[in-house]
Chains A and B, each alone.
Chain A
Amino acid sequence: MDFSWLPAYGGMFFEAFFLTLKLALMAIATGTILGVAAGILLTSRFRLIRGIVRVYVELFRGSPLLVQLFMVYFGLPHVGVNISLNMTTVLVFTLYGGAYIAEITRSGIEAIPKGQWEAAESLGLNYFQTMGHVIFRQTLKIAFPSLVGFYIGMIKDSSLASVIGYSELVKKSQTIMNMTARPFETYIVVGLCYFIICFPLSKLVSYIEKRSEAK
């Protein structure tokens, strides 16, 4: 095993690593906005709204991320929509993340005992006030571990963007690998980059979970 090339290419790795983080954070942000909105809609009393959102959620949770990437990346130009690679990637991750976060949000909301709604209602609060002041804070607490767990998964999933040519860690590492002809060591370093982000975060999540259980 030979890591002597590392200092020379270290800078490139660093840059690429931040590209991955950038993509992940953007996808997390937009995905959460879409997902929370969709999750709330999934608890609506209007069957039509629930139905439409449900179709979206089932579709994007019931198929692999890679296929979704291909569909949007290759398919949109054929229907006349021409957007940059960047936007395509963020779009797909938003839809993908949104679907999963919608489910997490929905089950978080439904986990709140009916009594909370009833108490708020009997105080005279309307739907939006109840949601904002009573329900949502509790939902966040319940959903927090699943949510952060999913975010950690997003960081790993961002690696698939390399397949459609998006510049992030895995894509850049292929260039480095071709230059150094050392795939074994290259991918160890790549793996390490993901590891040093994901491992502490997942330990943090289990620590928080344990603490809230002990209460």
Chain B
Amino acid sequence: MFLDWLFPIYHLPELLRGAAVTLETSAAAFLFSFFLGMLFAIVRFHRRPLVLYPIVTAFVEVFRNTPLLVQLFFIYFGFPQFGIMLSPMQAGMLGLVANSASYYSEILRGGIQSIPKGQWEAADCLGLSRPQVFTRIICPQVIRDTFPSITNQMVLVIFGTSVLSILDVKELTQVASILNSQSFRSMEIFTFVMLLYYGVTTLALAVCRFCYRRWFAAKTERR
């Protein structure tokens, strides 16, 4: 019954190394999935190129309506059947990015749809090309409007990395599991790790809020 709450502190280096892997993986997965999701959103919004639209739609719906764990197992255990051998990290990243991109696709598509038609028209009438209209006018507004959903999904990506532990990727949860099986100090370890995740996500969200205020905040006060 004796709980040694200092135990996790003794193993701080390993845990922090695991946290570093978590952060790196999360950041990479977030960036890749955000951009991939943006591409998907564009295809789904314009319904063009005609060939890609059904493929992207199918992809998005499949990855949004199945669990991440199943997706990871499918990639890591299923692909070798056809000769594609992936390392745990590769399979994990692939699954995480595919999964998150599908959610971003819908978030961003919804954002694009709610941009008033007048914005497209005004930009077109100035003679801007399609890519210019999208990157300069539409995209910044979409990111601003959907920012809470974007950060929310980012947190889910961070949590998603914990599932990678099942494939033996040495991120925070896996480090904790290994420590647990060696020492059986389960309560202490996992409580500490829970708090660590909480700290990491709070930090990440604070960074996002800072970025938002600096680049995207709507200026609405009348001078």
Contacts and interface: CB of A to CB of B under 8 A. Distances in A.
Whether chain A touches chain B in the assembled complex (some CB pair under 8 Å):
yes
Interface of A: 58-59, 62-68, 70-71, 74-80, 152, 156-160, 162-163, 170, 177, 182-188, 190-191, 194-195, 198-199, 202
B153 to A, nearest CB: 12
A62 B190 contact: no
B69 interface: yes
Interface stretch (B32-40, B85-93, B192-200): B192-200
A111 to B, nearest CB: 15
Contact of B166 (A163, A185, A187, A195): A163
A66 B173 contact: yes
B28 to A, nearest CB: 18
A71 B69 contact: no
Interface residues of B, number: 44
Contacts of A67: 162, 173, 176, 190, 193-194, 197
Given A63-B198, A68-B194, A202 B64 contact: yes
28 contacts: A59-B195, A62-B194, A62-B198, A62-B201, A63-B194, A63-B195, A63-B197, A64-B158, A65-B159, A67-B162, A67-B190, A70-B180, A71-B191, A71-B194, A75-B191, A78-B184, A78-B185, A79-B3, A159-B70, A170-B70, A182-B81, A183-B80, A184-B79, A184-B81, A187-B73, A187-B78, A194-B65, A199-B65
A187 B173 contact: no
Nearest to B197: A63
B186 A64 contact: no
B163 interface: yes
Contacts of A71: 186-187, 190-191, 193-194
B66 A191 contact: yes
A170 B74 CA distance: 11
Contacts of B68: 156
Given A78-B3, A177-B77, A184-B74, A156 B198 contact: no
A152 to B, nearest CB: 8
Contacts, number: 132
Contact of A59 (B65, B67, B80, B194): B194
Contact of A78 (B61, B82, B173, B187): B187
Nearest to B81: A184
Contacts of B67: 156-160, 170, 194
Contacts of B190: 67, 70-71, 74-75
